[in-house]
Chains A and B, each alone.
Chain A
Amino acid sequence: NAGVTQTPKFRVLKTGQSMTLLCAQDMNHEYMYWYRQDPGMGLRLIHYSVGEGTTAKGEVPDGYNVSRLKKQNFLLGLESAAPSQTSVYFCASSYSWVKGQNTGELFFGEGSRLTVL
């Protein structure tokens, strides 16, 4: 009963270091998303994917890259971390909206807390 799993859950980086956050879902969802959560700003969409091999930019994509090589995985990369990227990152997945399967529910992971010093 895993749902959406994010790794790692906590990470501390120095400015300029790189890292990758991994999101895995076992619900056979078409769509996957990466959000960041900051105090007073709610959730902001970084990148999303509507299917294997496809990605698209969200509201705040700068400084991040993503890949969706397999349907069940969605990776978020930081090539050169900056203190402004200190945040809690949430991965989510959902059924396809186009195919009419979606009831509006996004399924979220538990979050990954990243601190950039």
Chain B
Amino acid sequence: GDSVTQMEGPVTLSEEAFLTINCTYTATGYPSLFWYVQYPGEGLQLLLKATKADDKGSNKGFEATYRKETTSFHLEKGSVQVSDSAVYFCALHPFYNQGGKLIFGQGTELSVKP
């Protein structure tokens, strides 16, 4: 079945460092891909998305490119801030699915130190 695999955390960075969180997926056809973020004590919220190959999603300085050839959707940010400390989830929506069910990765915790 379809699945999402993320790099294990926690990831600890200093402020202004470059961030990459790896995400790869297994899916039939062309799924839609998402990154969600969960700040401490809160529910998940959509960070960015891409719906077809080579699309780049971006928001709040974060970017991710849908790579069909490597089945990847890695999250990047050029300069992280303490306020970016959160858990990041990669997710996919299968193209054939009519139930709206997202498949989530296990989450990667990011901690940014001043």
A binding-site residues for B, Cβ under 8 Å: 4, 31, 33, 35, 40-45, 48, 50, 56, 58, 90, 92, 94, 96-98, 102-106, 108-111
Contacts and interface: CB of A to CB of B under 8 A. Distances in A.
A42 B107 contact: yes
B43 A108 contact: yes
A4 B92 CA distance: 22
Contact of A108 (B34, B44, B105, B106): B44
- Range, interface on chain B: 20 to 34
A40 B45 contact: no
Contacts of A58: 101
Interface of B: 4, 32, 34, 36, 41-46, 49, 51, 89, 93, 97-102, 104-107
Contacts of B104: 35, 42-44
Contacts of A45: 101
20 contacts: A31-B99, A33-B100, A40-B106, A42-B104, A43-B44, A50-B99, A90-B44, A92-B44, A97-B98, A97-B100, A103-B49, A104-B34, A104-B46, A104-B49, A104-B51, A105-B46, A106-B44, A108-B45, A110-B41, A110-B42
A45 B46 CA distance: 17
A33 B41 CA distance: 19
A42 B104 CA distance: 6
